[in-house]
Structure 1
Amino acid sequence: MSTKKHLLISLTLVSSSLFAQNMKVVYQEEMRSFVQMNMSGSTSPKQEHVSKKEMVLLYNNGESVYEPVVNHSDEEAVPVQGSPGMKVVMMGNDVKVYKNQKAKEVISEEFIMDRKFLIVDSLKDYSWQLINEDREINGYKCKKATDKSGQTTAWYCLDVPVNDGPYMFWGLPGLIIQLEHQNKKVTATNIAQVSDSECPIEKPKEGKKVTRKEFDETMMKKMKEMGMPSAGGANVKVNIIQR
């Protein structure tokens, strides 16, 4: 074996060893929604709103947790165009997702409005389709992949050999740097190796325990009541009766 080849293999092993240890990834999440007011029978035009929040992925040897940097109810008042002084309060969804690749387990705390649910499920096989397309995102060289449904696009980095990413998504030959799914876009802004004390990976344990099917059925029912689509940008209709 030549010295050059030996050096290349050694550097690869060092890189893989580095990222197999504790890692912290900060993501910026953008969620697009639409608000439509109905005041005394008069319907206003849809108003587009983009909310942003910071999320963090803590990873350690196949086990990870994805959660908000700051836990809060994320109530955000959105000004209503054409109605000075009037605002609509948008309730955010502070999601916490735990993944264990060895146990093939995923546990998540999720909200429907102000109700918290605890969902226990098996890790999903996304059957990623790897696409020969490259893009640089925040200084990271990425390759493209889509899930079998074609509804999710992921850009992953081979230079960070960790098969994990935001939410339940995982299983690519590199860390997911950017993810586009329905009305959300999530982008990694910082990747760092951290100590054990800086990487507390804990299973979610709060909320009403339900199956994924039960949660999805409850979500669809609530979205239908609010006039929101099942995919794409959230469409919130608010009725206001003037007295």
Structure 2
Amino acid sequence: MVRYVLIFLLLFSVSLNAQSISGQAFYESKTTVDLDEMGAGRREMTEEMKKMVSQMMKSALEKTYILTFTKDESIYKEEEKLDATPINPGFRMMMNSFTPGSQYKNLKTGQIVEENEFFGKQFLVTDSIKSLDWQMTKDTKQIGQYTVFKAIAMKKVDPTDFSMARPKRDRKGKDEKENAEVKKDSTNFDDPMDMIEIPEEIEVIAWFTPQIPVSNGPGEFGGLPGLIMELNVYRTTLLCSKVVINPKSAEKIEAPKKGKKVTREEYIKIVQEKTEELRENFQNRGGRRGGGF
């Protein structure tokens, strides 16, 4: 009961400014990767390999995003910056292929539009904003000057969202004899897609503040009575490091226009078909990657 009174008071204190509010929120992303788990059931990674992979993963996954918002609209983009970390071009292309580009949300129409690059081809994906069944908790804390409240929801995972991939649990149960044979035979290539699985559903934890009365947040997330300041999704945490309210100058909010227009369902089908093609090429060529579209 107390938490609802607090939320009501905070909402009431800022409701007069809600209609004209605009701003920018800066989010820092952190993703944890268990390299020992990644190597389960396969050839063991040396410490040098782990260090190299860790550096590449850090460069690919630790980013800054900017959410430019009004009460009804927003645009969410990765902040452009120079990165001197050496990364294998193939690894960079793979990571970029599974990371959405600019994302536009219109809370009035319930529409989301995002730019996606999949193996060198640009797509403009349109979809409806998915509502989550948020459950409020009693937990509160401070993020900077803002009081935030904790909410939890379960989210169905897009079957093509490889950022959610994890090693298949049953690979840990392979017997020692089979593992020894794999290590001994250097020509034996595991199909990468056989090594991973994508969960059907994950828990999402959001910390939001009614002090900024917009029902928005990073990426596709929102639907709470206040801006999401921290978001925990599987292995990734997005933490708001700075908020600028009613900035003098900010990026114009408009839907992206670059790429072939497809629905979410059409895009999922394209990714699934291309992934299956890559698997076949990998198997036929002994582990070498296939061509483009």
| 1:179–1:226 distance in 2 versus 1, CA, 3 Å | farther
Normalization by structure 2: what TM-score?
0.59
Report whether the alignment pairs 1:156 with 2:158: no
| 1:113–1:183 distance in 2 versus 1, CA, 3 Å | farther
- Kept in 2: contact 1:19–1:193 (CA 8 A): no
Separation in structure 1 between the aligned mates of residue 108 and residue 18 of structure 2, nearest angstrom: 20
Q: Which residue is equivalent to 2:27?
A: 27
Q: 1:64 aligns with which of 50, 55, 74?
A: 74
Q: Which residue is equivalent to 2:264?
A: 212
- Kept in 1: contact 2:215–2:224 (CA 8 A): yes
Q: What are the Cα deviations for residues 177-234 of structure 1, in whole angstroms up to 9, with x where unaligned?
A: 111223432111111123474241011111122211222344455567779xxxxxxx
Question: Per the alignment, in what secondary structure is the counterpart of residue 98 of structure 1?
Answer: strand
- Kept in 2: contact 1:77–1:88 (CA 8 A): no
Q: Which residue is equivalent to 1:230?
A: none
- Kept in 2: contact 1:75–1:90 (CA 8 A): no
> Which structure carries more helix by proportion?
2
Q: 1:172 aligns with which of 224, 229, 245?
A: 224
- Kept in 1: contact 2:65–2:76 (CA 8 A): yes
Separation in structure 1 between the aligned mates of residue 130 and residue 84 of structure 2, nearest angstrom: 31
Separation in structure 1 between the aligned mates of residue 16 and residue 112 of structure 2, nearest angstrom: 24
Separation in structure 1 between the aligned mates of residue 15 and residue 68 of structure 2, nearest angstrom: 18
Q: Which residue is equivalent to 2:112?
A: 106
Separation in structure 2 between the aligned mates of residue 162 and residue 119 of structure 1, nearest angstrom: 24
Separation in structure 2 between the aligned mates of residue 220 and residue 75 of structure 1, nearest angstrom: 33
Percent identical among aligned pairs is 27
* Counterpart code for 1:66: Y
- Kept in 2: contact 1:129–1:148 (CA 8 A): no
Q: 2:121 aligns with which of 110, 115, 121?
A: 115
Separation in structure 1 between the aligned mates of residue 89 and residue 216 of structure 2, nearest angstrom: 38
- Kept in 2: contact 1:19–1:161 (CA 8 A): no
- Kept in 1: contact 2:24–2:66 (CA 8 A): yes
Separation in structure 2 between the aligned mates of residue 144 and residue 225 of structure 1, nearest angstrom: 42
Report whether the alignment pairs 1:77 with 2:86: yes
Instruction: Give ranges in structure 2 of 5+ residues lacking alignment.
Output: 1-8, 156-201, 280-286
Separation in structure 1 between the aligned mates of residue 114 and residue 225 of structure 2, nearest angstrom: 24
Normalization by structure 1: what TM-score?
0.70
Q: Cα offset for 1:77? A: 3.3
| 1:152–1:220 distance in 2 versus 1, CA, 3 Å | farther
Q: Cα offset for 1:160? A: 1.9
RMSD, aligned CA:
3.7
Q: Cα offset for 1:114? A: 2.9
Report whether the alignment pairs 1:187 with 2:239: yes
Question: Per the alignment, in what secondary structure is the counterpart of residue 214 of structure 1?
Answer: helix
- Kept in 1: contact 2:146–2:209 (CA 8 A): yes
- Kept in 1: contact 2:116–2:124 (CA 8 A): yes
Q: What are the Cα deviations for residues 46-80 of structure 1, in whole angstroms up to 9, with x where unaligned?
A: 644333111111111211111122289x89634xx
Instruction: Give ranges in structure 1 of 5+ residues lacking alignment.
Output: 1-8, 79-85, 228-238
Report whether the alignment pairs 1:132 with 2:134: no
Question: Per the alignment, in what secondary structure is the counterpart of residue 62 of structure 2?
Answer: strand
Q: How does 1:39-50 map to 2 (within 5 A)?
A: 43-45=43-45, 47-48=53-54, 49-50=57-58
- Count of residue correspondences: 211
> Which structure carries more strand by proportion?
1
Q: Cα offset for 1:157? A: 1.4
Q: Which residue is equivalent to 1:52?
A: 62
Question: Per the alignment, in what secondary structure is the counterpart of residue 167 of structure 1?
Answer: coil
Q: Which residue is equivalent to 1:144?
A: 150
| 1:52–1:213 distance in 2 versus 1, CA, 3 Å | same
Separation in structure 1 between the aligned mates of residue 204 and residue 11 of structure 2, nearest angstrom: 33
Q: Cα offset for 1:10? A: 11
Q: Cα offset for 1:151? A: 2.4
Separation in structure 2 between the aligned mates of residue 44 and residue 175 of structure 1, nearest angstrom: 43
